[in-house]
Chains A and B, each alone.
Chain A
Amino acid sequence: MTSASPPLLSIEHLTKAYPGVVANSNVSFAIQPGEVHALLGENGAGKSTLVKMIYGLVKPDSGAMHLMGEPYAPHEPSEARRRGVAMVFQHFSLFEALDVAENITLGMEDPPKRRDLAERIRTVSHEYGLPLDPSRLIGELSAGERQRVEIIRCLLQNPKLLIMDEPTSVLTPQEVDILFTTLRTLSSEGTAILYISHKLEEIRALCDAATVLRLGKVVGECTPRESTAREMAELMVGGSLHTPERAPGAEPGDVLVEMKNLSLPSPTQFGTSLKDVSLQVRSGEVMGIGGVAGNGQDELLSVISGEAPVAPGHLFVDGEDIGPLGPEARRRLGVLTAPEERLGHAAAPDMSLVENAALTAITREKLAKNGFLDWGATRSFAERIIQSFDVRTPNADVAARALSGGNLQKFVIGREVLQKPRVLVVNQPTWGVDAAAAASIRQALLDLAQGGSAVIVISQDLDEIMEVADRFAALNGGKLSAPRLTQGLTIDEIGLMLGGAHDMEKAHAAE
């Protein structure tokens, strides 16, 4: 901000309040041309709202923005795009049944002829080391490739500012490297990048400057290269951070969960089939299963939860064949799961937390007598979850959808953990959860294993797996690799187990 040239984007005293919460309060910072600027903050810190205001999706209540010295107040994203601001969302807006070029056409105001567009897609994607075939169907692409489509879509507009919301959450480590190379190229050409992430090591590797938000306010600025990840995390949380601890020396016990050559055909065209999955998890052990989203994680969880029953002879818990059993029968045996999708799968959005507490706990917590629900007991169970897992909510009667993603995740994990499972499978347990809450969720998982349960953690977050898991296996295209001890495993080795960079190395080698 002290530099002589005017900043590319300056944000001055932006405030945005929603009924009941102030999402952004008096936020000011500036982004220089060509700068990679990190926006850091816990969930609910106001990052999304701020970015939506920059991209014209949300109107600020007060405050102003200037883009290259000119007043900037976009009414809608198309105006933002015209002014040179582009955004890659965390969740892709792509149609699986259309091809790459068709999808890119959809976002354009004045699309060129298909042949010209295909040529431009090839040129631009090659130039930035993100090769893309314009005629491939989105449904056939990996998550990393889909993200490339979104990035190319933005780059075709020659943006001056590129906003990226949690871009690496779906990438393998090798793909992350390629993305960073691309972003550095862009930055050296003068394109500024506003980079939102909670992965602090990435921010240290990539970003020139960082603005930290907490509870809607700017609480600090730092130069990531000169700060430690811990310092930044503590700035985000506003206190010291607790690192989950593993009690040493616990020997794994008997085999609790066993999968033998388990296969499951995909229920939908674009789903992933599980192919010949075999795995043993012992009591007292945390098994980490890594992999980029869409490689069979949901399917693996549904096989264990009982939503997708399998033929006898493939799935055993404590020696008992549970393959054909439904979810309730499995819960009776102590097999609990927490799916990734919180709204609509792990919880019913429009039902209250009390009602959602009953969702999986009727059997184990004995919440029903003679078929009649005991709402008093259910309520106290819900309140126990809220208290033990620090779920921030006015009371237990609010609808699940009113909670922030991280808070609902705490509720869902808490609901399963408090039922004292013998086997617990969680999919993306800390996805979208802030650092402090993530630490407490991981600690709860470790404590559970310590108590003799078998815990399977399915996660895209490799740091998370390294932190909690005793052994690691990679899920790639529905196949599970042979597990390896996490101790001594390097990130590079893991990356290769995850299937490397999906043919991306070739492109770079060719340059």
Chain B
Amino acid sequence: MIRLEKRPTPSKMWTYLTPIVAVLLTMIAGGLMFAALGKNPVEAIRTIFYDPLFNEQFAAYSRPQLLVKAAPLILIAIGLSLGFRAGVWNIGAEGQYIIGAVVGGGVGLAFYPSGSPLIFPLMIVAGGIGGWAWAMIPGLLRVWFNTSEILVSLLLVYVAEQILASMSLGLMRNPEGGGFPGSRNFQQWDAVANVELIPGTGMHWGVVAAFLAVIGAYVLLAKHVLGYQIRLTGAAPRAARFAGVSPSRLILTCMGISGALAGLAGLFELTGPAGQISIDFNSGYGFTAIIVAFLGRLHPVGILLAGLLMALTYIGGELAQFMLSVPAAAIQAFQGMLLFFLLAVDVLTNYRIRLARTDTKTGAA
């Protein structure tokens, strides 16, 4: 009989080992899935994890993509992780990402074609405020009416998608675009283009923001009273109230921070890799960031590494799609496995497995 026995204190070793074990298990299970699809599993895994970084043919293009893809994931996941730690479940970062881009982009377009260096910073602020405001809707509804922030934030993603479609077809459509949906291209507007800061690295302002967020979150959680209150609320809500933490204020703070960071991610994506507001501007970063947050153990440094790993599976997945013609759904399933195994193995942090062999011995006596 296998039994789970609660550890007196959470295992430090397993806290660090869990993600690694989960990645290995994902490789094994994913390999089996690829084999079942008739692909060579070793080649598929290599294409996903190895080729984007080290294959001579692809690395030149793929390597910079790593930071480009990882930055929004990390930026959003850092914000989400603060809420998740406190038991505030913002599932709608995708919507906040869209609204951040729409608001920031809208503010920018209002000044088109000015060349002022102040416009880009203004757009960044507006993007953050847009995401923050969109996250305040589920936050305030939770505080005032005790609605579920999970449902409200999630459903607001679909509202945001409609707003995005409406904007790209109407208000924000490029007047010189020949009637095609989509806004002006921000990359072609030098004053606001979020360009590569160091050529060949993929490093743009969004990457800088992501790194700053990692450092900021680390300091917040380790040293600041707010970070302590966040951790305390997650660990023991009743003790947090006893300590004097106001649950409402904490919910709004966490929702606000995660919304603002998602909005920033949206803005940097808009002015950088995406270039314009279009119907299909959002590409699921807001949802994938949830996986990144948990894969990184809700720890800032963990999220940094998890974001890079997840970006790798994106890039490698695309590579596998056109090199090995693996279906896109298989890549998504592969990413899903990662979260699944992570949560499963996570049990070992707080529990140990006991093989209760003594039972049979005393039973025979």
By a beta-carbon cutoff of 8 Å, the part of chain A in contact with chain B is 59-60, 71, 73, 75, 305-307, 326-329, 331, 337, 339, 341, 343-351, 355, 358-360, 362, 368, 371-373, 375, 398-399, 401-402
Q: Is the CB of A59 within 8 A of B359?
A: yes
Minimal beta-carbon separation of B354 from chain A (angstroms): 11
Contact B243 A327 (CB under 8 A): yes
CA distance A226 to B10 in the complex (A): 48
Interchain Cβ contacts under 8 Å between A and B, 16 examples? A59-B362, A73-B362, A75-B359, A327-B244, A341-B238, A345-B236, A350-B236, A355-B232, A359-B242, A359-B243, A371-B226, A372-B225, A373-B223, A373-B225, A375-B223, A399-B10
Q: Is A398 within 8 A of B232, CB to CB?
A: no
A73-B363, A348-B235 known, 4 other contacts, Cβ within 8 Å: A71-B365, A345-B238, A360-B242, A371-B225
Contacts of A328 in B (CB 8 A): 243-244
Residue of A nearest to B236 (CB): A348
Q: What distance in Å separates the Cβ of A82 from its nearest Cβ neighbour in chain B? A: 15
B325 at the A interface (CB under 8 A): no
Determine if B8 and A355 form an interchain contact, defined as CB atoms under 8 angstroms apart. Answer: no
User: Distance in Å from the Cβ of A220 to the closest Cβ of chain B?
Assistant: 29
Contacts of B243 in A (CB 8 A): 327-328, 359-360
A373 touches B224 (CB 8 A): yes
By a CB distance below 8 angstroms, the chain B residues around A360 are 242-243
Q: What is the distance, in angstroms, from B260's C-beta to the closest C-beta of chain A? A: 19
Which parts of B3-17 form the interface with A (CB within 8 Å)?
A: 8-10
- The answer to the question of B358 belonging to the interface, with a C-beta cut-off of 8 Å to chain A, is yes
Candidates A75, A331, A349; contact of B244 at CB < 8 Å? A331
Contact residues in B for A368 (Cβ distance below 8 Å): 225
**Could you mark each residue 226-254 of chain B with 1 if its beta carbon is under 8 Å from any beta carbon of chain A, else 0?**
10100110011011111110100000000
Closest CB of chain A to B255's CB: distance in Å? 20
Question: With A328-B244, A372-B225, A398-B9 known to touch, is A344 a contact of B239 (CB < 8 Å)?
Answer: yes
Min CB distance A18 to B, Å, is 9
Tally of A-B Cβ pairs under 8 angstroms = 85
Q: A73-B365, A372-B224 are in contact. Are A347 and B241 (CB under 8 A)?
A: no
Q: Say how far B75's CB is from chain A's closest CB, in angstroms.
A: 23
Nearest B-chain residue to A343, judged by Cβ: B236
Which residue of B228, B242, B244, B358 contacts A339 across the interface (Cβ within 8 Å)? B242
Residues of A within 8 A of B239 (CB): 344-348, 359
Of the candidates B232, B236, B365, the one having the most CB atoms from chain A within 10 angstroms of its own CB is B236
B362 touches A402 (CB 8 A): no
By a CB distance below 8 angstroms, the chain A residues around B359 are 59, 75
Of residues 348 through 365 on chain B, the ones whose CB sits less than 8 Å from some CB of chain A are: 358-359, 362-363, 365
B8 in contact with A402 (CB, 8 Å): yes
B241 CB contacts on chain A under 8 angstroms: 307, 327
Chain A CB within 10 A, most for which of B223, B241, B243: B243
In the complex, the 9 A-B pairs of residues with the closest C-beta atoms, listed nearest first: A328-B244, A327-B244, A348-B236, A402-B8, A399-B9, A348-B235, A348-B239, A359-B243, A345-B238
Q: Count chain A CB atoms within 10 A of each CB in B231, B242, B365 and give the residue with the most.
A: B242
**CB nearest to B232 among chain A residues:** A348
The interface residues of chain B lying within 8 Å CB-to-CB of A73 are: 362-363, 365
Q: What is the minimal beta-carbon distance from A62 to any residue of chain B, in angstroms? A: 10
CB distance from B17 to the nearest CB of A (A): 19
Whether B232 pairs with A346 at a CB distance below 8 angstroms is no
Contact present for B224 and A75 (CB under 8 Å):
no
Q: Given the known inter-chain contacts A59-B359, A373-B228, A399-B8, please indicate yes or no for A346 contacting B365, CB distance below 8 A.
A: no
Contacts of A331 in B (CB 8 A): 244
Known contacts A59-B358, A73-B362, A398-B9, A344 near B238 by CB under 8 Å: yes
Instruction: Give A185 to B359 CA distance when docked, in angstroms.
Output: 37
- Smallest CB separation, A67 vs chain B (Å): 15
A371 proximity list for chain B (CB < 8 A)? 224-226
Q: Bound state CA distance, A368 and B246, in angstroms?
A: 18
Docked complex Cα distance between A351 and B10 (Å): 10
For residue A344, which residue of chain B has the nearest CB? B236
Known: A360-B243, A368-B225, A373-B224. A349 touches B236 (CB 8 A): yes
What is the minimal beta-carbon distance from B351 to any residue of chain A, in angstroms? Answer: 13
Shortest CB distance A344–B (Å): 5
Closest to B350 in A: A350
**Least Cβ distance of B19 to chain A in Å?**
19
> What 1/0 mask marks residues of chain B from 146 to 168 whose CB sits below 8 Å from any chain A CB?
00000000000000000000000
Among B9, B223, B224, B358, the residue within 8 A (CB) of A402 is B9
**Closest chain B residue to A307 by CB distance?**
B241
The residue on A at minimum CB distance from B365 is: A73
| Chain B minimum-CB-distance residue to A375 | B223
A308 vs chain B, min Cβ distance (A): 10
In the complex, how many angstroms separate the beta carbon of A404 from the nearest chain B beta carbon?
Answer: 11
- B242, A346: Cβ atoms under 8 Å? yes
For B228, the chain A residues whose CB sits under 8 A away are 355, 358, 373
Residues of B within 8 A of A359 (CB): 232, 239, 242-243
Indicate which residue in B10, B240, B246, B363 contacts A350 across the interface (CB closer than 8 Å).
Answer: B10
Indicate which residue in B9, B242, B358 contacts A305 across the interface (CB closer than 8 Å): B242
Q: Report Cα–Cα, A398/B223, bound state, in Å.
A: 19
Q: Are B225 and A326 touching (Cβ within 8 A)? A: no
Give bound CA distance, A326 to B248, whole Å: 13
Contact partners of B235 in chain A: CB under 8 A: 348-351
Q: Across the two chains, which residue of chain A brings its CB closest to B239?
A: A348
A403 to B, closest residue via Cβ: B8
**Complexed CA–CA distance, A306 and B241 (Å):** 9
Q: Please report the C-alpha to C-alpha distance between residue A134 and residue B346 in the assembled complex, in whole angstroms.
A: 44
With A and B bound together, what is the CA distance between A402 and B10 in angstroms?
A: 10
Residues of B near A60 (CB, < 8 A) are 362
Quick check: B244 and A306 within 8 Å, CB to CB?
yes
Nearest B residue (CB) for A368: B225
Residues of A near B223 (CB, < 8 A) are 372-373, 375
Q: Give every chain A residue within 8 A of B224 (Cβ-Cβ).
A: 371-373
User: Which residue from A347, A351, A401 sits with its C-beta under 8 Å from B8?
Assistant: A401
In the complex, A191 Cα to B181 Cα: how many Å? 86
A345–B244 CA distance with the chains assembled, in angstroms: 12
Residues on the B chain within 8 Å of A346, using CB: 239, 242
Q: Complex: how many Å from CA A360 to CA B228?
A: 12
Contact present for B10 and A362 (CB under 8 Å): no
Which one of A71, A307, A349 contacts B242 once the chains associate, using CB atoms below 8 Å?
A: A307
A373 to B235, CA, bound (A): 18
Residue in A closest to B6 when the chains form the complex, CB atoms = A401
- Please, how many angstroms separate the alpha-carbon atoms of A90 and B363 in the complex? 29
Chain B, residue nearest A345 (CB):
B238
Q: Are A362 and B225 in contact (CB under 8 A)?
A: yes
Residue of A nearest to B352 (CB): A19
Closest CB in chain A relative to B353 CB, distance in Å: 14
> Are A326 and B232 closer than 8 Å at their CB atoms?
no
Contact A326-B9, Cβ < 8 Å, known A348-B236, A348-B239? no
CA gap between A337 and B244 in the complex, in Å: 12
CB-based nearest B residue for A356: B239
Q: Which residues of B contact A362 (CB under 8 A)?
A: 225
Contacts of B362 in A (CB 8 A): 59-60, 73, 75
Task: For the complex formed, measure the closest distance between the CB of B257 and the CB atoms of chain A, giving whole angstroms.
Answer: 15
**Complex formed: what's the CA distance from A328 to B244 in Å?**
5
In Å, the complex CA distance between A459 and B223 comes to 37
Give Cα distance in the complex from A251 to B362, angstroms: 64
Interface string of B1-41 (1 = CB under 8 A from A): 00000001110000000000000000000000000000000
Q: Which residues of B contact A355 (CB under 8 A)?
A: 228, 231-232
> Which of B235, B239, B241, B358: most chain A Cβ within 10 A?
B239
- A278 to nearest B CB, angstroms? 25
Measured between beta carbons, the chain A residues less than 8 angstroms from B358 are 59
* Smallest CB separation, A502 vs chain B (Å): 29
Residues of chain B contacted by A358 (CB below 8 angstroms) = 228
